[in-house]
Amino acid sequence: MMTFDYKKEYKAFYMPKTVPSIIEIPSMNYIAIRGKGDPNDEDGEYKKSIGLLYGLAYTIKMSYKTDHQIEGYFSYVVPPLEGFWWQEGIQGSIDYQHKEQMCFISMIRVPDFVTREDVLWAIEQATKKKKQDFSKIEFLHYDEGLCVQCMHIGPYDDEPKTIASMNKYMEENGYALDITENRFHHEIYLSDPRKCSPDTLKTVVRHPVKKL
């Protein structure tokens, strides 16, 4: 029995080096929730979104609709949690001192064969079985395009150091930051903060760019 693991099959997207690089990201499908507020707030929208997304991701995975659908593989590992982040009125950077102003799209990738109709079906099933409201979850098709990315190791609040190195690399190689209302600061969470120390957290940090 073989299990498809996105992190292993697409290392360029999920396991970059700790030095910046330029990469073209293809379109992907996600289940996603939009919200606002401090991500560290235990009762905030972000923390609640995580539980809902994983609940639906496993409903989709265990569904008869998705069995044997990845050629050569019996099943798949649910991909890591990801997030697009921005702050209203601030373009191109994140002010880590004012997290209460953060807006997010929290998301988990789903296999390409999972359709919008499958997600709507899973929302209905999960709502019935888990007695929770999954209606805020949407099917998101996103084409990220050209980006600079880097593996950040350490606390989330130390990300500005990694971002500074990404900006330097980007500028030295003829690219400009291209964060807009449709292109975002992107994080992919490879570590569970409940199970490891802040100093060992692994997070892929990705920014959209354009060639000068």
Would you say residue 209 has pLDDT above 70? yes
Which of the pair, 69 or 7, is modelled with greater confidence?
7
Q: Mean pLDDT over residues 119-132, rounded?
A: 94
Would you say residue 10 has pLDDT above 60? yes
In angstroms, the Cα distances linking 116 to 30, 89, 122, 133, 137 are 10, 31, 10, 18, 11
Per-residue pLDDT of 57-105, as tens digits, reads 999 998 856 554 555 556 889 999 999 999 987 766 777 778 888 999 9
Would you say residue 155 has pLDDT above 50? yes
pLDDT of residue 203: 98
pLDDT of residue 207: 98
Task: Say if CB 45 and CB 35 are below 8 A apart.
Answer: yes
Would you say residue 202 has pLDDT above 50? yes
Q: Mean pLDDT over residues 16-33, rounded?
A: 98
pLDDT band at 11 (very low <50, low <70, confident <90, very high): very high
Q: Mean pLDDT over residues 182-203, rounded?
A: 94
pLDDT of residue 206: 98
Would you say residue 122 has pLDDT above 60? yes
pLDDT of residue 90: 73
Q: Mean pLDDT over residues 147-168, rounded?
A: 96
pLDDT band at 190 (very low <50, low <70, confident <90, very high): very high
Give the start-to-end residue ranges of the domains of the chain: 3-8+16-211
Mean pLDDT for the chain overall: 92
**Assigned CATH for 3-8+16-211:** 3.20.80.10
pLDDT of residue 68: 47
pLDDT of residue 162: 97
